[in-house]
Structure 1
Amino acid sequence: MLKAFCIASKRGEILFSTIFAPTLTKAVFHPFLSELSSSPHGDPPPAFTKEGQDYVYVFRDDLYWVGVVSSGSLTHQCGQLLITESLGQLHRVCSGLCGILTQHSITANATLIGEIVQESMNGGFLQLQTPDKLQSHIYSRVVAAKESSAVISTPGLFGLEKSAPGTAAQQSSLIVDTGKRELYVDVVEKVWASVSAEGTVIRAEVTGSIQVRCFLPGNPTLALSLNTSLSTLPQEGFSTGTRMSEVEFGSGVNVGDGGRKVSVMTVPGQEMTIARYTLAPDHPHLLPFTLTGSTAALTPSDAELKLKLVSNTGMGTVSPHVTFHVSAPPTTAAIMSRTSGPRDQTVTFSPDNKTITWTISQFPGGSYAQAYIRLVDSGGNASVESGELDFEVSRWVCSGVRVENVKLSPHTEGLNKWVRYLTTSDSVSVRLT
């Protein structure tokens, strides 16, 4: 039996929690978060005891899925394996019902995840479930954490390709006519990074996945050829390929040519994960944007914040939404702003929490945008230290992984092949001073 459960980010933020034991509060998770931040070798052991509490967790999609175990319970006596498997199954169910899991999607779908947890951990008693079995017991709908742009047709690998910034789970179910013969291949990556004021990437982690969804009768075999190897093995000689620290292939996936070719038997209408991967720490991390900023005095009472955002994704890509959140000096009463670059830009100020939000929609790759923000009554010597950058970039991924060839056996006439690339931010912190 579990006494409590939570989902926490890599930065130690509790995104979702539920308490099964009436005598406990959210403070029961503090020892786990403390161990997480102080562990000398990265992540703590998958099961440990601290301050009288027993913790078991799994790390999935850059999130910690944590259970607090009751001492003397059956699960405690059976060891951590049962709990680890249950937490992993809970993650798979949430992923199947919510789509791609990020900090934003977890908080946006807290009600839906609460229903899933209620059915999977009834009062703290673990119950293995599947998305199909839970579907009839779930009443909440998936809430999109970010808006996506409309489908765009561009010349590509299969002639005129249709590109849409979304995952197969979130977008395909909305726009696919199951009466058509269609195949979707999605390469989706998430970015966690910390960037210095000079634009240098201090620390970054990029995780990705290749997902497919096929709407064809029968069970045709899908074969993909990639431009790089999905492998953690070092390549001999000089190589400009993508370096991976972790690679996990999905169930039933056959791997060949050192990870450059993969094949799998498809199931009609079902999303399948071909592979999940994490870029190696020594891989050069090219982030989709470079943000620089400075603060200068205008008058003894006012200062001006200058921001410049440069897209590194190149021509042919587009960012449906880019948002930069920054805290204004505490005495700021209002702002006045002007922008240059893409037309659809807004700068807003929240007097309650002193937050400035700069939003750019339909930001084309290879361009730049600027914002000049006057901070009224902030003080002439005021400064802004750092902010958070949120983005979604279609037709581009940080790793450079590309699908070079898609083949179905047996051959299908009149098949529409959709290959899509999407990069989203999980947490990107940018210092300005």
Structure 2
Amino acid sequence: MLKGFCIASKRGEVLFLALFECNLTKALFDPFLTEVSSSPHGDPPPAFSKGGHNYVYVFRDDLYWVTVVTAGSLTEQCGHIFVVEALSQVHRVCRSLCGALTQHSITANTTLITEIIHETMSGGFLQVQSPEKLQAHIYSKPVAARETAALTSSPGLFGLEKSAPSMAAQQSAMIVDTGKRELYVDVVEKVWASVGCEGTVIRAEVTGTILMRCFLPGNPNLILTLNTPLSSTPHEGFSVGTRMSEVELGGGVNLAEGGRQLSLVTLPGQEITLARYTLSPDHPHLLPFTLSASTQQLTPSDGELRLKLTSNTGMGTVAPNVTFRTTAPPTTAAVMSQTSGPRHQTVSFNPTDKSLTWTITDFPGGSYANAFIRLVDSGGNAVVESGELEFEVSRWVCSGLRVEHVRLSPVPPSNFNKWIRYLTTSDSVSLRLT
């Protein structure tokens, strides 16, 4: 039997929590989060005891999927491997029903995940299920993760036709179209950052995943050549390559050419994770956007917030969706706005919680956007201190990693398509404005 289950981020934030005993609280997972954050040798083993509790977890999609096993229960007697496999199954079900799993998609789909946990861990008893069997018992509709919009809302964004799948990571492995003759390679990076008021990056963390999905007959051997080595070993002297602190290869993936070449045997219709990596803290982090802000007094009662968002991604890239969220001064009754730059911009204000949202769609790389927002009844000299930036950028990744060559052996028929796509999304980017 299980005492509780939670999904936590790499920074120790509990995104989802389910407790199976009425006398338990969120503090049940504090020893686990402390062990993860303080372990000097990376993550602890997949099963360990601390603070009188038995923890079993898996690390998937940059998230910890954790459960607490009751001592002496039948579940504990079955062994930790059984619990690990059950957690992996829960992750697969959530990924199948929710799509891409990020901090935002987990919090947006809390109701759906609650139903999944109710079906797979009813009362703390593990129920091994598959997505197909669970689908009939799930009534909630998934809330689409923001990173999918970049690939679905703008046809042709990656040079794809409208009929092309949105992303290799978004397609169920159970659906295989035998008529396809296509190969997809996706490089997806997530950004977490804290930025000072002058645009100085105080702290940043970038994690990336290289995904592949093949729709070719047989099991051709794939050889992928990158422009930089996938290695966490520091290089002597000056290095122009991407510096990484963590690299994890997928199952069956072989590394050659000094870390620049990945090879494996493809499986038709199957999504395969070739590698996961984390940029080194000393790698120069170029964030896709820079935001500058200032406030000034217009009248004794009204103030003006001026925002300028600059794209650092260069020509040929596009951000299908960029959103800046902040909170207006508490006395603000309404806002009036004027924008310049990209054509599709909106500024909205919620008088209930004083939330202020600036949204830009189809933001070209190398350009900038301005917003002049009048804060009515804000007190005149009131200031806006901080905000959150959410974005999706296609054809660009922070690390500069690129796929230089893709080779298949044996060579498939000439009438097949090869898609290489790049996407950068925000996980959590906080900005100080003053």
TM-score using structure 2 length: 0.88
Counterparts of 1:13-412 in structure 2, within 5 Å, are 13-24=13-24, 26-29=25-28, 31-32=30-31, 35=34, 39=38, 45=44, 47-50=48-51, 53-76=53-76, 83-84=83-84, 86-126=86-126, 142-146=142-146, 147-148=149-150, 149-152=153-156, 167-170=167-170, 178-412=178-412
RMSD of aligned residue pairs (Cα, Å): 3.0
Counterpart-to-counterpart distance in 2, 1:399 and 1:82 = 37
- 1:2: how far off? 1.2
CA distance change for structure 1 residues 400 and 5 in 2, over 3 Å: closer, same or farther?
A: same
- 1:241: how far off? 0.4
Contact 1:198–1:292 (CA<8 Å) still a contact in 2? yes
CA distance change for structure 1 residues 265 and 287 in 2, over 3 Å: closer, same or farther?
A: same
Counterpart residue identity of residue 19, structure 1: L
Contact 1:6–1:17 (CA<8 Å) still a contact in 2? yes
Counterpart residue identity of residue 394, structure 1: S
Greater Cα shift, 216-225 or 304-313: 216-225
CA distance change for structure 1 residues 29 and 300 in 2, over 3 Å: closer, same or farther?
A: farther
Where 2:323 maps in the other structure, the secondary structure is strand
**Superimposed CA distance per residue, residues 358-406 of structure 1 (whole angstroms, 9 cap, x where no aligned partner):** 0000000000001111111111221111101000001001111111011
Identity %: 68
- 1:124: how far off? 1.8
- 1:116: how far off? 3.5
**Superimposed CA distance per residue, residues 49-107 of structure 1 (whole angstroms, 9 cap, x where no aligned partner):** 34x65544444333232223323324556776654554345334433543321112112
Counterpart-to-counterpart distance in 1, 2:116 and 2:105 = 15
**Superimposed CA distance per residue, residues 138-191 of structure 1 (whole angstroms, 9 cap, x where no aligned partner):** 66554312233322267xxxxx66699953132699x99652311111000101
Where 2:278 maps in the other structure, the secondary structure is strand
Tell me, which stretches of 5 or more residues in structure 2 are unaligned? Answer: none
- 1:332: how far off? 0.7
CA distance change for structure 1 residues 267 and 281 in 2, over 3 Å: closer, same or farther?
A: same
Counterpart-to-counterpart distance in 2, 1:86 and 1:244 = 31
Counterpart-to-counterpart distance in 1, 2:189 and 2:180 = 28
Contact 2:169–2:211 (CA<8 Å) still a contact in 1? no
Counterpart residue identity of residue 234, structure 2: P
Counterpart residue identity of residue 61, structure 1: D
Counterpart-to-counterpart distance in 1, 2:35 and 2:195 = 22
CA distance change for structure 1 residues 41 and 357 in 2, over 3 Å: closer, same or farther?
A: farther
Task: Give the aligned partner of residue 422 of structure 1.
Answer: 423
Counterpart-to-counterpart distance in 2, 1:393 and 1:162 = 19
Please identify runs of 4+ aligned residues in structure 1 that moved more than 6 A: 160-165
CA distance change for structure 1 residues 192 and 57 in 2, over 3 Å: closer, same or farther?
A: same
- 1:42: how far off? 9.9
Counterpart-to-counterpart distance in 1, 2:36 and 2:238 = 37
Counterpart residue identity of residue 317, structure 1: T
CA distance change for structure 1 residues 131 and 250 in 2, over 3 Å: closer, same or farther?
A: farther
**Superimposed CA distance per residue, residues 320-369 of structure 1 (whole angstroms, 9 cap, x where no aligned partner):** 00000001111111111111110100000001111000000000000000
CA distance change for structure 1 residues 177 and 85 in 2, over 3 Å: closer, same or farther?
A: closer
- 1:16: how far off? 1.9
Tell me, which stretches of 5 or more residues in structure 1 are unaligned? Answer: 155-159
Give the total of aligned pairs: 425
Counterpart-to-counterpart distance in 2, 1:94 and 1:251 = 21
Counterpart-to-counterpart distance in 2, 1:38 and 1:265 = 36
Contact 1:98–1:142 (CA<8 Å) still a contact in 2? yes
- 1:309: how far off? 0.6
Contact 2:36–2:43 (CA<8 Å) still a contact in 1? no
CA distance change for structure 1 residues 123 and 30 in 2, over 3 Å: closer, same or farther?
A: closer
